[in-house]
Structure formats: C-alpha cells, structure tokens
Structure 1
Amino acid sequence: MNYITLKEAANATGLNETTIRRLCKKADSKPYIRLRKGKNGSLYTIQTNYLFDKYPPKKAPDKVDENRVYTPANVEPIQGYTLDYTPLLTVKDELIQVLKDEINYLREENKGLREENKELKLLPAAHSTTKEADPKTRKSFWHRVFG
C-alpha cells in the first residue's frame, strides 16, 4: 500500500492541506493514517487509495480548452498513482465477517439473558420482614423521638 504525506496529498488532489487534515481526524479514517518518523519530527501519511476514493486526483491541464467540460471522468489520473481497490475490499470483507461473528455472539448472549429473565420472573417476589421498612406503617421522626 502506498502512503503519501499530507502535503503531497494536498498537491495531488488540489485541495488545501487543512482539508486533508480534517479528513485524517475523522474516526473512519484512522485505519488509513500512519505516523512516519522524519528528520524534522513525525509526519502523518495517508493511504493513496483511501485518499483518492474520498477526493479524486486533480491534474492541471496544460492549456484550457473553453469548449471542453472537465469532469472527473475525463481528467487523467496523476502519474504514479493507481487506484487499486483489492486491499480495501479484502479489509472490508474481513470487517464484515468480524461484524457477523459479533452479531451471532450478541444474539446468543441475548438469548441467554432472556431465558434468565424468564426464570427470574417465575420466582416469588421478595418481601421485607421488618415493620419499619414498610413506609405505610413506619412512624414519623417526631413520633419515634418523643414516643
């Protein structure tokens, strides 16, 4: 998997670096962000496939043809960046399987808790044995102090 710095990502997409940083701060972006040690400290890097999935790459045309409409379909991708979705699909399939296993586990646990709840409802209700615990027969504070 190819990772590029945030500055390179901003240049590749034509967006501001702050926009790329906002994308990196999102919770669903965390698996695609890595911290790389550099000469001047730590650099955040982002996976190119994920970046270009969110923001398509931009390429400035050499000369602008006023009659041509530029859409993402007819803009050529940047040299050296290919969109390979195979690793992303593999990760998504693994995540789906993990979530299915979690659902099955929770269903079994829920089934067990429901059975336990049915058993508890069949038990007789607990009654207090002391008179003072019953609020209807309990004496007020002043009656208890002065009799």
Structure 2
Amino acid sequence: MNLNDYTFEEPVEKEFSVFEDGEYPFTILEINALTTSTTGNPMIPLKLEFTDEDEKTTVYENLVFTDKAKYKIDQFLKCVCGTLKPGRKINFEDPDFLRWLQVRTGRAKLTSEKVKGKDYRRNKVVSFVYESTSIEGTSVRTPAAKASPPSTPVEAEVIDDDDIPF
C-alpha cells in the first residue's frame, strides 16, 4: 500500500464470529508495550485469538494498572505463566518479557455484549481461567503453555516459576 498515493474505497463491513458465553482457549496474538488508558492509567493492550472447534474470533483486552483491576492482571499472569509465587516482581516494561508472552496460550471466560451505538455484539473477557480457578461452582484445570515461534500455537504445559525468563 502506497502512503503517498492512497486510494479511498467505500468501507466494507467485516464479518466476525461472536462466541456464546462460556470458557474458550486463546492464544496471545499481540501484546503491546505499556501505554496510557483514556483515564491516564498505565495499560497493556492485548489481542487474543479464541477458538471453538473450527471457529475463531479475536478479542481485544486491556490490562489496566489500577488497584480495582489488579485481580485481572493477576488472573492473566497465573493463566499464561503457570505457577507464579506470590510476591514475585514483574517488569511489564521489559521488552524481553513482552516477547516471551507473545503467542502464549490459556483459557478465559467470555461473555458477549452489545456495542454501544452499533447494531452488533462482540465478545469480552470476563475472567482469565487457570488451574483450580472456581467458576460458577466448578473447578477447572487449565495449565499454561510454553513459548514457541510467533506463528505456531503451543500445546499447554505447566511452567515452573523458576523457568520464566524475567
């Protein structure tokens, strides 16, 4: 695409899947560098690909660094990193750590919501699920997966805290 000679065309509505409420496996497609939310809080944007049999959908999730949202960051870390020890310091500004997180896998509980001002719905992450997470009265076992090349999904395995390179 040429930036100096861009040709405008009428936008085409893109079709995408909206999954039913429930738990689904995901792969991190993108994890961006620390940025700032509209309210001025530090934030890391995630692009997650969820799968259900032959269907895929993309969900965007923002990890916002506030006391109120800390639980979701902790869920995310436990989900994709495995056995982290409480009190472990993590540097979200370390590009090596962000690269290490790229294409990791996990499970999350999704819900669907109507998009404000639009005539369609989209999925939203309710919670990240990890081993022994209690969701709606059941206990699930979803160990984290090891890192792999960016284009290859990885098979789940438990990672020890000492094996995480950060």
**TM-score bin (small chain):** under 0.3
Superposition TM-score, scaled by structure 2 size:
0.24
Structure with a larger share of its residues in strand:
2
TM-score scaled by structure 1? 0.26
Higher relative contact order (CA 8 A, sep 6+): 2
- Name whichever structure is richer in helix by fraction: 1
